[in-house]
Amino acid sequence: MSLGSYLASLLPIDLAQGLGVTGRFFFMRKATIQYPDVKPVPKPRFRGMFGFNEERCIVCHNCAKACPIAIIHIRDHFEEIEVDGKKKKKKVLDRFDIDVKRCMFCGLCEEACPTEPVAIWLTTMSYEMAAYERNERLYYDKERLQNWDGVQPYPGVVSPEAGQLPNDPTGGKAAKPEERR
């Protein structure tokens, strides 16, 4: 190292530049969100807790087949009913269980559902489903999927029992995105 560059290296200009950057950040706005007083806002397409509507479901098993890890367990049986004097066979849903603790929230079940609007959806913007008992509370059957027992819904989101539509998890009741946050 030549004498000139040695002397130049004695002046810590590069270090001072770095100090300037952090010094400036000291006075800037902070990015912390004070959870749980303030909750982060998910976007409308956020894949969160399941919504399930038994009335719309036609028991086609598409969601169970599409699920990569096979956590949707469906049991049904045929019943004979009278419609307009003719005997018809109708599928009745016995069990529609989802093992949420294994779910990876990929959304393939929602994509596979053929009804319009879909009978199973993930765009509920709710992500607080934590429980103290793993196997009892994170295994949702038909009733719990619809009344959302054990789930803390995102503010404004109504439970599926209230007949909400997918992709509008608040059932038309929430503020527009511009008015939020």
Q: Which residues bind another protein (CB under 8 A)?
A: 9-10, 12, 14-15, 17-23, 25-26, 28-32, 34, 42-47, 66-68, 104-108, 111, 122-123
What is the dihedral angle through the alpha carbons of 11, 13, 15, 17, rounded to the nearest 10 degrees? 170
Cα–Cα distance, 139 to 126 (Å, whole number): 17
Cα–Cα distance, 162 to 97 (Å, whole number): 20
Handedness of CA 145, 146, 152, 154 (dihedral sign): positive
Which CB atom, from 104 or from 130, has the smaller least distance to another protein? Answer: 104
Which CB atom, from 46 or from 115, has the smaller least distance to another protein? Answer: 46
Which CB atom, from 81 or from 175, has the smaller least distance to another protein? Answer: 175
Shortest distance, CB of residue 79 to another protein, whole angstroms? 29
Shortest distance, CB of residue 90 to another protein, whole angstroms? 25
Which CB atom, from 18 or from 155, has the smaller least distance to another protein? Answer: 18
Report whether 59 contacts 74 (CB < 8 A).
Answer: yes
